[in-house]
Amino acid sequence: MSRTTLNLGILAHVDAGKTTLTERLLYAAGVIDEIGSVDDGTTQTDSLALERQRGITIKAAVASFAIDDVTVNLIDTPGHPDFIAEVERVLRVLDGAVLVISAVEGVQPQTRVLMRALQRLHVPTLVLVNKIDRRGASDERALEAISERLTPAIVAMGSVDGLGTGAARFRPWGADDAVLRTRLTEVLAEQDESILAAYLEDDAIAYRRLREELARQTGQALVHPVFFGSAITGAGVDALLAGVVELLPEAQGDADRPVAGTVFKIERGPAGNKIAYVRMFSGTVRTRDRLRFGRYAEGKVTAISVFDGGSAVQRASVSAGEIGKLWGLAEIQIGDPIGAPRTAAAEHYFAPPTLETVVVPCNPDDKGALRVALAQLAEQDPLIDVRQDDARQELSVSLYGEVQKEVLQATLAGDFGLDVGFRETTTICIERPIGTGEAVELLHADSNPFLATIGLRIDPAPPGSGIDFQLQVDARAIPLYVYKKVESFTKNMGLYVRQTLQEGLFGWQVTDCIVTMTECTYSVPDGPPSRRGPLSTAADFRKLTPIVVMRALREARTVVCEPILRVSLELPTDTIGAVMPALARLGAAVETPSLQGRLSAIEMVLPAARAHELRRQLPGLTGGEGVLESSFAGYQPVSGDQPTRLRTTANPLERASP
């Protein structure tokens, strides 16, 4: 019997029960003999000591089980918004997802953020309303909240008996249940004209056809079946497992095509060796293969393991559709494509971190060890973006929130034996070029101490486009005796440019621009008179590039831009009068409130620096009933004085004489 693979994500707002659900699924599939406890720290997927201590998921974890002829790779993800980047990496590798919602608390702010992301990426998603055994649970209230706040395209797959008690049970509807047939027909008719026609003509539609169409539309993320259950008691779990196999699509990909995959997690083994978790989309990677990854890197795979039966087992290869762990790729990073890059949409689906803080070791002698520790943590989460300031002997990291700072502090203490503190948390801005700027340094000119000519032009680019480096020079002007190939020269020059633009005119990272090389010359001892002289080296181009980049940037000029959030408030209608003046004081650009009876919604755009203050004020303004949901909305120019950030490197515009 041939096996198929399904890579399944479990997502939820924190404390909705997804890690307990993961344990229950593994138990139901026979992978574990006893269900672990989040509170006791005995779960399979929360393996970090800190996860067990705090009772929250911090790092994505993979487990595996089999249902009939389907191998399910189950990925447990963090629920706290401070670890949303970890969720982002998982979303890129999923075939389907289960979104867990509490039957007591209902749809919570993070639930809406996750559902929007799943819909945007067209990830087929089942919904599990968990905790039906808890006092205060309501199936009707949960369905109403899902329909109003997430999507109306839902189908309840059964009913609940004994709701709110330890005896609560989920009863799946069958072919003879008129309620299910009617609801299925109504929802599926929205996307299928033949079902709509039969529905309007009151023709009977075969139940088998309805189920097949439900699987098709679920697989296209058009409809979301809703199950009910309890991860604690196991109620409804068998029905959910059956729904996973029937309604979610299996992994696609041809094992015989060129290799393509994505790295979504990095960890270190006991010996300190790097291990990359890879989702394969096509092709086959074998032990001892030389593998391309990232932009230009390459390495030899020394070992492979594939998830099977609850754990990772050593294999000679990993193929399309599977998740594997690869050893031997020392330079690989999270987010790297392997083999042929996929033509995926945007790199990031969630906000970049908007906060940063300086990490201070309590013992000054620990500065070197702290640098090494943060470098290793950046491998696991590159968005912490460690910045080293050699002049002030300081290290700073970027953050999503204060909980992440607490976790970082505990991780450094527990895993590396380092006690640290933090300076005040500040907002991370960026710089964008305002206009076009050009600069050139000529070979043998008195102002140029290096043996190279470099001319660069910087042009503004659309927001969110990053930095693009282009060549506009004759290949004969490139010192190929140093770089071997034009591609290598382009790679290295692009690297020098990007490194320089880490700190712009005001000290912030410069982005959203096109940097074009317009002039290039080198010298050789026996060359033509115009290029005769000492031999140019790669160091000449590397050292001259920052000078030319910053001169071109000074001519282009930049504006500092601060991060902004799109904020949605749901609040009692009678509190709008108190909330609106507070929003005005915070500088929010407010859209017209949407009055929806007892509850109302307000949409706005707000500087990220003010969002924390709004979150702090909201309970008092709304009697504790206001709900705030935010999503990254880009950057906007700062009005007034431009905020500056202290540079960590010498400014090339102030270079000393050679």
pLDDT above 80: residue 501 = yes
Report the alpha-carbon angle 548-552-554, nearest 5: 115
Q: Which of 286, 285, 282 is nearest to 254 (CA)?
A: 282
**Among 58-62, 72-76, 113-117, 141-145, whose mean pLDDT is lowest?**
58-62
pLDDT, position 382: 67
pLDDT above 60: residue 657 = no
Confidence of residue 532 (pLDDT cuts 50, 70, 90): low
CA distances from 255 to 1, 101, 252 (A): 18, 36, 10
pLDDT digits (tens, 9 = 90+) for 188-213: 988 888 888 876 766 678 888 899 99
**Among 47-51, 210-214, 258-262, 523-527, whose mean pLDDT is lowest?**
47-51
**Among 357-371, 384-398, 444-458, whose mean pLDDT is lowest?**
384-398
pLDDT, position 345: 42
Dihedral angle computed from the Cα positions of residues 251, 252, 254 and 259, in that order, rounded to the nearest 10 degrees: -70
Say how many CA atoms lie within 13 Å of 220 toward its Cβ: 10
**Among 50-64, 237-251, 412-426, 551-565, whose mean pLDDT is lowest?**
50-64
pLDDT above 90: residue 61 = no
Percent of the chain clearing pLDDT 90 (strictly above): 49
Q: Where are the beta strands (DSSP E) in 573-649?
A: 589-590, 594-596, 599-607, 627-637
CA distance 323 to 307: 7
Cβ-based burial of 487 (10 A; exposed 0-12, middle 13-18, buried ≥19): exposed
Type of residue at 567: V
pLDDT digits (tens, 9 = 90+) for 286-328: 999 999 998 778 899 999 999 876 678 899 999 999 999 999 9
pLDDT, position 299: 92
DSSP state of 567: E
Report the alpha-carbon angle 441-443-445, nearest 5: 75
Average pLDDT, the chain: 86
**Among 154-163, 251-260, 617-626, whose mean pLDDT is lowest?**
617-626
pLDDT, position 44: 52
CA distance 604 to 498: 34
Type of residue at 185: T
Cβ-based burial of 316 (10 A; exposed 0-12, middle 13-18, buried ≥19): exposed
| 392 vs 373: which has the higher pLDDT | 373
Tokens, residue 551: 């001169």
- Are 396 and 360 in contact by the 8 Å Cβ rule? The answer is no
pLDDT, position 86: 63
pLDDT, position 283: 94
DSSP state of 530: G
Percent of the chain clearing pLDDT 70 (strictly above): 90
Arithmetic mean of pLDDT, 372-399: 82
pLDDT digits (tens, 9 = 90+) for 123-149: 999 999 999 999 999 999 999 999 988
What residues contact 335, with CB distance under 8 A and at least 6 apart?
89, 262, 263, 264, 347, 382
pLDDT above 50: residue 266 = yes
What residues contact 536, with CB distance under 8 A and at least 6 apart?
443, 451, 452, 479, 482, 522, 523, 524
pLDDT digits (tens, 9 = 90+) for 569-615: 888 899 999 999 999 999 899 988 887 777 788 999 999 888 878 98
Q: Which of 399, 511, 398 is nearest to 464 (CA)?
A: 511
Domains defined along the chain, listed by start: 4-172+223-247 (3.40.50.300), 260-339 (2.40.30.10), 355-428 (3.30.70.870), 431-556 (3.30.230.10), 561-637 (3.30.70.240)
pLDDT, position 82: 52
CA distance 471 to 489: 10
Bridge partners (DSSP) listed for residue 73: 7, 64
Q: Which of 600, 596, 598 is nearest to 571 (CA)?
A: 600
Arithmetic mean of pLDDT, 444-455: 92
